[in-house]
Amino acid sequence: MRITSGQYRGRVLEGPKSDKVRPTSDKVRQAIFNILNHGAKPLDGASVLDLFCGTGGLGIEALSNGASAVHFVDMDTSLIRKNIDKLGIGDEAQVTRKDVLKFHTPKTYDFIFMDPPYHMELAHKTLEHLQSLGVMKPDSLLIVETEKEAKLPPSFKIIQEKIYGDIKVSFLEQDQ
């Protein structure tokens, strides 16, 4: 796994040794950040929440592309901690080891990345949880990676969807 763009481009991340973690592929991450960097919404100075972060690839890519801070959340934070240390980005990163559906914070975020385990309806449940928390700003952009057939709550407006094999990446805003 490599960072595909920005100031950390080409840096190698620590990856999983088992199939418990399914990191977003370099190709899909590069596509996501091409969309963000060329029109969707600038990352410069943005606050980011990376849920089900695993290796931290999406959040680290956001930092590499100008985000000012990323809050990483996962049940197992060992890989993200290794990658934060490896890149020396501890000042810009906050890590919480917790079940995403039990996560609470008073903060709001400009971008929220989610890559939950597939076939468990976790994307749907997590989006509903995020609405109840109030962590989204009126113009927050959510980037959700799911299995292709996943259904998302109707309380979110789909800005764009892309299919990469069996993976769907949805760019969402909270429906006002």
pLDDT tens digits in sequence order for the chain, 176 residues long: 889 888 999 999 988 776 655 667 778 888 888 889 887 678 999 999 999 999 999 999 999 999 999 999 999 999 999 999 999 999 999 999 999 999 999 999 999 999 999 888 899 999 999 999 999 999 999 999 999 998 888 889 999 999 999 999 999 998 76
Task: Return the residue matching tokens 């609470």.
Answer: 104
Residues 6+ apart with CB under 8 A from 102: none
Q: Tell me the one-letter amino acid at 58.
A: L
Domain 26-174 belongs in CATH node 3.40.50.150: yes
Q: How far apart are CA 113 and CA 79, in angstroms?
A: 17
pLDDT of residue 176: 65
From start to end of 2-75, where are the E strands? 47-51, 69-74
Query: Rounded to the nearest 5°, which phi and psi values hold at 155?
Result: -80, 10
Using a 10 angstrom Cβ sphere, with 0-12 exposed, 13-18 middle and 19 or more buried, the burial of residue 96 is: middle
Pairwise CA distance, residues 81 & 75, whole Å: 12
